[in-house]
A and B are shown apart, each in its own frame.
Chain A
């Protein structure tokens, strides 16, 4: 085929359905995509470099800005990696609160995915339904951290603060109403013939290709591979919660949709269990070298004052070594590779961002397909450019 017959189409970086600043260069033969070359980096903010230049605790706010739809998942991956290097485990109450909030975060992330994905394909109203519930989750975020998006609520060694009064009732009210909301989204889409035509058999990827390309999270499970970090390598006590890992079969856009919708129900299940387990107790490890002593004590005890000063002036240091800690973030396996050199800053930190790896599979999914399906496939991968570009 001569080059005269093909057309090169530049999609993005300011295209509304590329979910941020993704740029694709598509080579088209009529309506068929021959080649798809993604260009990324427009949102590169040097987060890894930034975290390496700050003390361990100071890196947390930067992690919020990777997958900004699921900031608490990023916080969790980072603090767990640092805690692994330090060799500490946080108290039960902190673990339960972490699980509760990261599962609510998964729901929040999936809501944005569902709303925008459906809107990309032309189902406008789903977006409004999803953002209605997301608003309630943002209120929960605001209650615990004072921030609706960049919450930075988790700390190495525990949490920034205990849950505020009334939070449990607020979370309870949200969780009680949520199953009916999921039923509403499903009523709008799952059996909708237009939705099915736009998603079934589109963007299909085989199991082998998905594994070879390193897909993780719902996009891998839609191919029928039961890999969920929460089950395979439980952290924060996930082994004690009962939940299922929804699987797809065909690895197409529709299966990725059904897997994520089913995951919202499972996350609701875990969050409800976690809420029932909240009992009073400490939220931080009892180590004054790691967590500042309570303020009233600082005013009375010389030792506490010294600890307070040391922690705010130079932080804590971690023994030299290296760890990799992965969590099941809403988008897939979020891994943190941390190299410590005995100082109070991470020597090297690398985030294995699930969106980065998942986006790599896009070309495989769209080449040879229609250009109109590209939008559906991008939506089904649930990418966030903040995390891809870091």
Chain B
């Protein structure tokens, strides 16, 4: 074949209608809080906005309270340990998946923080964040400032280490085996 192969394109957007209002979200964000948007990514018909931790609360409040946006449901909060990625600093990414029940839109917000850096809690905006943030604290060791009850949630209270970090072994921790053998 003489023709050069076209580069692999992402799948054509399934719902074009959803892509238009998504840009409305970005337009609004840019107009109101343009200084807060560090980076914006689009991939596979999804939008990711990267923020600095200090801007998180005002952006979240705006996204929830603005009647045209109304991101009233916080679907999920989780984190990524970037230790083994090409760009590994800052080490952690805290990821928020927002959803608007009225407009059926999703939006992903991300923060990048280093070890020991605290992230402001969003429990005051969406109470559901309470357990999600506890899980991130438990499994990644990311601290949430102002969280009402920041305790481990899945691992035992006296557990050492944070299992979803990339430098934590997939098999059980060495200490656990020592105790078992004794």
A319 engages B8 (CB within 8 Å): yes
- B residues 2-58 near A (Cβ < 8 Å) are 8-11, 15, 43-44, 46, 48
A321 at interface, CB cutoff 8 A: yes
A254 at the B interface (CB under 8 A) = no
Check B11 against A337 for contact (C-beta < 8 Å).
no
Q: Does A181 contact B (CB under 8 A)?
A: no
B101 interfacial contact with A, CB 8 Å: yes
Does residue A55 face the partner (Cβ distance < 8 Å to B)?
no
Is B44's CB under 8 angstroms from A87's CB?
Answer: yes
Residues in chain B near residue A333, CB distance under 8 A: 75
**B80: interface (CB < 8 Å):** yes
Using known A-B contacts A49-B170, A324-B108, determine if residue A87 contacts B11 with beta carbons closer than 8 Å.
yes
Contact of B128 with A213 in the complex, beta carbons under 8 Å: yes
Q: Which residues of A contact B126 (CB under 8 A)?
A: 212, 214
- A341 is contacted by which of B10, B76, B85 (Cβ under 8 Å)? B85
Chain A residues with CB below 8 A from B128, complex form? 212-214, 357, 360
Measured between alpha carbons, how far is A337 from B44 in the docked complex, in Å?
13
Contacts of B11 in A (CB 8 A): 84, 87-89
**At the interface, yes or no: A382 with Cβ under 8 Å from chain B?**
no
Q: List 28 A-B contacts (CB under 8 A).
A: A40-B153, A41-B152, A41-B153, A41-B154, A41-B155, A41-B156, A44-B155, A46-B170, A49-B163, A53-B170, A87-B8, A87-B9, A211-B101, A216-B73, A319-B8, A321-B43, A321-B44, A322-B43, A322-B108, A324-B108, A337-B78, A339-B80, A347-B85, A350-B95, A356-B131, A357-B128, A357-B131, A390-B154
Chain B residues with CB under 8 Å of chain A are 8-11, 15, 43-44, 46, 48, 72-76, 78, 80-81, 84-85, 95, 97, 101, 104, 106, 108, 126-128, 130-132, 152-156, 163-164, 168, 170
Q: Which of A211-238 contact B (CB under 8 A)?
A: 211-214, 216, 225, 227, 232-233
Interface residue? A352 (CB, 8 A): yes
A227-B101, A324-B97 in contact; A214/B73 too (CB < 8 A)?
yes
- B129: nearest chain-A partner, CB-CB: A214
Q: How many angstroms between the C-alpha atoms of A213 and B155 in the bound complex?
A: 23
Q: A216 to B76, alpha carbons, bound, how many Å?
A: 12
Question: Taking chain A's interface residues, is the majority helix, strand, or loop, or is none over half, making it mixed?
Answer: mixed
What are the residues of chain A within 8 A of B85 when measuring CB–CB? 341, 347
User: What separation, in Å, do the CA atoms of A322 and B95 have in the docked complex?
Assistant: 11
A82 to chain B, nearest CB (A): 12
Q: Which residue of A lies closest to B48 (CB)?
A: A322
A326 is an interface residue with CB less than 8 A from chain B = yes
**In chain A, what residue has the closest Cβ to B128?**
A214
Q: Which residue of chain A is the closest to B95 with respect to CB atoms?
A: A337
**A 231-268 binary contact with B (CB < 8 Å = 1; else 0):** 01100000000000000000000000000000000000
Is A323 engaged at the interface, CB distance under 8 Å to the other chain? yes
Q: Which residues of chain A have C-beta atoms less than 8 A from B95's C-beta? A: 337, 350
Q: Of B75, B106, B155, which one neighbours A214 at CB under 8 angstroms?
A: B75
CB neighbours of A212 from chain B (8 A):
72, 126-128
Q: Which of A175-226 contact B (CB under 8 A)?
A: 211-214, 216, 225
Total A-B residue contacts, Cβ distance less than 8 Å: 98
Report which residue of B43, B78, B164 has the largest number of chain A beta carbons within 10 angstroms of its beta carbon. B78
Cβ–Cβ contact A348 & B80, under 8 A: yes
Q: CA separation between A339 and B97, bound complex, in Å?
A: 14
- Inter-chain CA distance A165–B168, complex, in Å, is 47
Contact of A335 with B by CB under 8 A: yes
- List B contacts of A326 (CB < 8 A): 75
Instruction: Flag whether A30 is at the interface (Cβ < 8 A).
Output: no
Point out the residues of chain B lying under 8 angstroms from A103, CB to CB. none
B75/A352 in contact, CB under 8 A: yes
Which A304-358 residues sit within 8 Å CB-CB of chain B?
319, 321-324, 326, 333, 335, 337, 339, 341, 347-348, 350, 352, 356-357
The answer for the CA separation of A179 and B130 in the assembled complex, in Å, is 41
A337:B48 contact, CB within 8 angstroms: no
Query: Is the pair B84, A233 in contact by a Cβ cutoff of 8 Å?
Result: no
Chain B residues with CB under 8 A of A319: 8
Interface core residue of B8, B128, B156, B164 (most chain A CB under 10 Å): B128
Q: For the complex formed, measure the closest distance between the CB of B79 and the CB atoms of chain A, giving whole angstroms.
A: 8
A367 at the binding interface (Cβ < 8 Å): no
Interchain CB contact under 8 A, B164 and A48: yes
Given contacts A44-B155, A335-B76, whether A50 and B170 have CB atoms under 8 Å apart is yes
Chain A residues whose C-beta falls within 8 Å of the C-beta of B72 in the assembled complex: 211-212
A84 / chain B contacts, CB cutoff of 8 Å: 11, 44
Instruction: Decide: A40 and B154 in contact? CB cutoff 8 A.
Output: yes
Minimum Cβ distance to chain A for residue B85 (Å): 6
> Is B44 within 8 A of A85, CB to CB?
yes
Residue of chain B at shortest CB distance from A212: B127
Tell me the A30-83 residues at the B interface (CB within 8 Å): 40-41, 44, 46, 48-50, 53
CA distance A323 to B41 in the complex (A): 12
A323 touches B44 (CB 8 A): yes
How distant is the Cα of A357 from the Cα of B129 in the complex, in angstroms? 9
Minimum CB–CB distance from A255 to chain B (whole Å) comes to 18
Q: Closest residue to A336 on the B side, CB-wise?
A: B76
Known A-B contacts: A41-B155, A212-B72. Give 12 more (CB < 8 A).
A40-B153, A46-B170, A85-B44, A214-B126, A322-B43, A322-B46, A322-B108, A324-B46, A341-B85, A348-B80, A360-B131, A389-B154
